[in-house]
């Protein structure tokens, strides 16, 4: 009996140790509270709004029409291969949430609609152009930034933008970000990482590979020009979802090789309401619908770092980051 009790005590103690050591020291445990109604962030945004420090929907629209270019200094690319946990930490520190703080016309409460972004200088952040567009009803709206420490900061200027390249470079007041270098020397087969908030799942870190570089139809222009880069895109197998837009895609040295832009599920024929993969398609079904409209592959589309570098360099005498050594 005594042996049984001692054995049970040891087992329980061992289990407790395993639970206590579930994560390494200093690893952040993500909140389950959705960003839409995050009370601490809403309160901090309210303080800035009442102080008149936030740009309105109308002001953001005006800045998108007339950006205010300014020279920024970009960090040099890293050349040392990092562990996955170090890349995750670097991605988190360089991650900036950007989006709308708005008064809902339906419930009369203030909400947040935030997407991703990443710092390329201490006070300059990149995100998707489409993240600055209004895609919801607002009685009143303001554009904000949230750093990795949970500080809410005002966006003060649009430095550069390209709707075709789905990129905007923003000035953020009070930002003391950890900037991420831009690397335009990626190739298919390279490892690709992403830290983002897909469908409000905070701090999700995923990995995959670079699948391909490709051009959208109708792309033209001189090689390396902004016009030519407007159609350049990158596919990776790294996971993301709505809410991840603007987040950085990083290489194994912690450099940015692109940022999240789109996700495209591909299927043949019309997708039915429900699909059972185990059921074989009828033999007489046409080629265009032989899988019952099921999603066969999902393409994750990113804007390459080369396009962001070109946009940044077009603003002024910006020092570009060199490619990492192989």
Q: Is residue 155 part of a domain?
A: yes
What is the domain-level CATH number for residue 225? 2.40.10.120
Q: Is residue 4 part of a domain?
A: no
Q: Is residue 1 part of a domain?
A: no
Q: Is residue 20 part of a domain?
A: no
If we measure between CA atoms, which residue out of 256, 210, 267, 199 comes closest to residue 233?
210
Q: Is residue 62 part of a domain?
A: yes
Q: Is residue 24 part of a domain?
A: no
Domain range holding 263?
Answer: 35-269+287-315
Q: Quick one: pLDDT at residue 143?
A: 97
If we measure between CA atoms, which residue out of 95, 102, 112 comes closest to residue 36?
112
Please state the domain count of the chain: 1
Q: Answer for the pair 141, 102: CB distance below 8 angstroms, yes or no.
A: yes
Q: Quick one: pLDDT at residue 280?
A: 34
Read out DSSP for 244-263? -TT-EEE-TTS-EEEEEEEE
Q: Is residue 320 part of a domain?
A: no
Q: Is residue 26 part of a domain?
A: no
For 8, 77, 91, the CA distances from 237, given in Å and listed in that order, are: 45, 23, 18
Q: How far apart are CA 16 and CA 171, in angstroms?
A: 47
Q: pLDDT in tens for each of the 326 residues of the chain?
A: 545 454 544 444 444 444 455 678 878 888 777 788 899 999 999 999 999 999 999 999 999 999 999 989 999 999 999 999 999 999 999 999 999 999 999 998 999 999 999 999 999 999 999 999 887 789 999 999 999 999 999 999 999 999 999 999 999 999 889 999 999 999 999 999 999 999 999 999 999 999 999 999 876 777 767 788 999 999 999 999 999 999 999 999 999 999 999 999 888 765 544 433 333 333 444 445 566 678 889 999 999 999 999 999 988 654 445 554 44
Provide the whole-model pTM. Answer: 0.84
């Amino acid at each position: 009996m005594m042996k049984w009790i001692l054995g049970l005590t040891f087992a329980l103690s061992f289990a407790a140790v395993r639970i206590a050591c579930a994560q390494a020291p200093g690893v952040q445990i993500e909140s389950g509270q959705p960003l839409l109604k995050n009370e601490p962030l809403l309160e901090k945004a309210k303080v800035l709004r009442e102080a008149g420090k936030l740009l309105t929907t109308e002001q953001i629209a005006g800045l998108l029409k007339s950006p205010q270019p300014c020279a920024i200094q970009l960090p040099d690319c890293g050349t040392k291969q990092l562990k996955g946990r170090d890349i995750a930490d670097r991605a988190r520190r360089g991650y900036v949430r950007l989006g709308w703080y708005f008064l809902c016309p339906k419930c009369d409460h203030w909400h947040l609609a935030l997407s991703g972004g990443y710092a390329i200088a201490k006070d300059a952040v990149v995100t998707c152009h489409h993240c600055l567009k209004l895609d919801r009803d607002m009685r009143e709206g303001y554009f904000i930034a949230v750093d990795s420490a949970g500080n809410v900061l005002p966006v003060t200027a649009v430095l550069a933008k390209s709707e075709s390249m789905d990129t905007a470079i923003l000035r953020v007041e009070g930002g003391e970000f950890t900037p991420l270098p831009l690397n335009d020397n990626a190739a298919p087969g390279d490892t690709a990482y992403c830290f983002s908030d897909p469908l409000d799942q905070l701090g999700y870190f995923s990995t995959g590979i670079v699948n391909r570089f490709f051009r959208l139809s109708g792309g033209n222009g001189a090689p390396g020009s902004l016009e030519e880069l407007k159609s350049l895109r990158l596919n990776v197998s790294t996971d993301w979802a709505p809410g991840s837009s603007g987040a950085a895609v990083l290489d194994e040295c912690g450099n940015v090789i692109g940022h999240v832009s789109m996700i495209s599920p591909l299927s043949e024929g019309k997708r039915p309401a429900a699909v059972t993969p185990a059921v074989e398609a009828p033999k007489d079904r046409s080629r265009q619908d032989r899988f019952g409209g099921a999603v066969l592959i999902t393409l994750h589309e990113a804007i390459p770092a080369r396009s962001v570098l070109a946009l940044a360099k077009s603003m002024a005498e910006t020092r570009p980051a060199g490619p990492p050594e192989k």
